[in-house]
Amino acid sequence: MATSEFHPIEQAAPDTGVAARLLRAIEAILGIAAALVLAVLLFMVLVTVCLRYFFSAGFIGAEDLGIWLHVGLIALGAPLSLYSALAMRLDVFVKILPENLQKVTRIGADVFTVLSALILSFGGSEIMTMLGGVSPTLGVPEWIRFGFLGAGGALILVVLLLQRIAEGKLLPVALSLAVGVALYAGIPHVALDLDWPPSIFLGLIAAIGLLLAAPLPHAFLAAAYVVIAFGSSLPEPAIVSATVTGISKFLLLAIPFFLLAGGLLTASGVANQLVRFAAAMVGHRRAGLAQTTLLTSVLFSGASGSSVANAAFGASTFQPELVKHGYRPAQAAAIIASTSVLDNVIPPSIAFLILATATNLSVGSLLVGGFFAGGLMAICLAVAIHLTVSEQVPLPRANARQRWQSAVQAIPAFGLGIIVVVGIRIGIVTTTEAAALAAFYTLLLGIGARLGIL
């Protein structure tokens, strides 16, 4: 699946290049702006929780403000994620192609990105000119929310062009830009009368984009625009409007909070307490280090909800150790990748939050079901590891005292999962509020670890 190794920014042109310096400056500004927006979002949700439970009060427009800021956060983050794992590029097929064909697929992937950026930019601008009215709770024009994505589309295009120029790929990026602009300008004037429904062509075009390793959101957004030529009744402004409407859900604010919690859990070193506990429990068994990786992933899943954060932590913590203990690099990577998937099932699961948003299913019921499904998956992985992996140097067996000490030291990390799952299940807080509390709790753990308290 997607990794940050695909056209990484670190491998751009020399530091002396104007494009490279400008790109880093833009990314730094966007990163600071996104961090500030996320901090405001976190503060707002925490204040809302405190006002409701301690003062039986609140402030009007808190939910709408959170939704608007979330749309702005996505607009700021979209350019930053263009070359990261969050772009969700399916580059498995591209990597097996010869180098010359990889260059062609790179141009094709960039065409999808250019087209989606143009759709967001001009589609958002068109909605801004058409939409009137003022938000009744915030007192600001409604078009601003759509303007966020319009600006985000323009920034995506700028980042793409600067990245390719910094890499010295002037001709390929010029070709991608020309094809993308031609498609954007020509699609509305093409009408193909075919017997198949537009949805089939949408799926086929999106699949082509994914096979070319285009970012997943861009592949589907560009496909939704291209199928206008095949009879789709969804014009460009409607595509952008549907996109904004889809992300304008208060429940989705939980996603950046859980990502923040997972990142803080790793950066603070608190996650290492989970590693020590897992090693004390299963490290001495057959394939003990691999089993430790699995159990740590299960525990991490119950704290973060982010498979990306889990995989990043596993890669930095366990990959070197697994290789050192005789695992092949590919085998070590497979163990980490397969165990990090548990975050998508074991509560709190970001994937379940997206599912609940799209289907209006009960978040609490999904989380309870995730316990059983995730537990079954973990057992199956443990059996598979036991049968297929054999270490020459097993980890030493921990005694009862060491196990008890590791369990006590891991209690602060365990508390994160308890806050989230129990809080949501018994209805004390909403899912978004639980995610905000989790992020704040992890921040406190990080501060405590930095001060030597934990």
Confidence category of residue 363, pLDDT binned at 50, 70, 90: confident
Average pLDDT over residues 302-317: 75
Q: Can you tell me which residue has the tokens 């959101």?
A: 217
Residue 13, pLDDT > 50, answer no
pLDDT at residue number 113 = 97
Q: Which residue has the higher pLDDT, 6 or 212?
A: 212
Residue 394, pLDDT > 70, answer no
pLDDT at residue number 407 = 83
- Give me the chain's average pLDDT, please: 85
Residue type, 380: C
Average pLDDT over residues 24-44: 95
Confidence category of residue 2, pLDDT binned at 50, 70, 90: very low
171 close to 106: Cβ distance less than 8 angstroms:
no
Confidence category of residue 6, pLDDT binned at 50, 70, 90: very low
Residue 150, pLDDT > 90, answer yes
Min mean pLDDT across 163-167, 175-179, 284-288, 333-337 is at 284-288
Residue 166, pLDDT > 80, answer yes
Per-domain residue ranges of the chain: 18-248, 252-446
Residue 122, pLDDT > 90, answer yes
SS (H, E, C) the chain: CCCCCCCCHHHCCCCCCHHHHHHHHHHHHHHHHHHHHHHHHHHHHHHHHHHHHHHCCCCCCHHHHHHHHHHHHHHHHHHHCCCCHHHCCCCHHHHCCCHHHHHHHHHHHHHHHHHHHHHHHHHHHHHHHHCCCECCCCCCECHHHHHHHHHHHHHHHHHHHHHHHHCCCHHHHHHHHHHHHHHHHHHHHCCCCCCCCHHHHHHHHHHHHHHCCCCHHHHHHHHHHHHHHHCCCCCHHHHHHHHHHHHCCHHHHHHHHHHHHHHHHHHCCCHHHHHHHHHHHHCCCCCHHHHHHHHHHHHHHHHHCCHHHHHHHHHHHCHHHHHHCCCCHHHHHHHHHHHHHHHHCCCCCHHHHHHHHHHCCCHHHHHHHHHHHHHHHHHHHHHHHHHHCCCCCCCCCCCHHHHHHHHHHCHHHHHHHHHHHHHHHCCCCCHHHHHHHHHHHHHHHHHHHHCCCC
Residue 449, pLDDT > 90, answer no
For the chain, the straight-line distance linking the first and the last C-alpha, in angstroms and rounded, comes to: 36
Confidence category of residue 14, pLDDT binned at 50, 70, 90: very low
pLDDT at residue number 393 = 61
pLDDT at residue number 260 = 86
pLDDT digits over 40-83, tens only?
Answer: 999 999 999 898 888 887 788 888 999 999 999 999 999 999 98
Residue 273, pLDDT > 90, answer no
Q: How far is CA 249 from the centre of its chain?
A: 16
Residue 316, pLDDT > 80, answer no
Average pLDDT over residues 284-313: 79
pLDDT at residue number 376 = 93
pLDDT at residue number 11 = 41
Residue type, 167: E
pLDDT at residue number 406 = 84
Cβ-Cβ contacts under 8 Å for 130 (sequence gap 6 or more): 237
pLDDT digits over 225-269, tens only?
Answer: 999 999 888 888 899 999 998 888 888 888 888 888 878 877 777
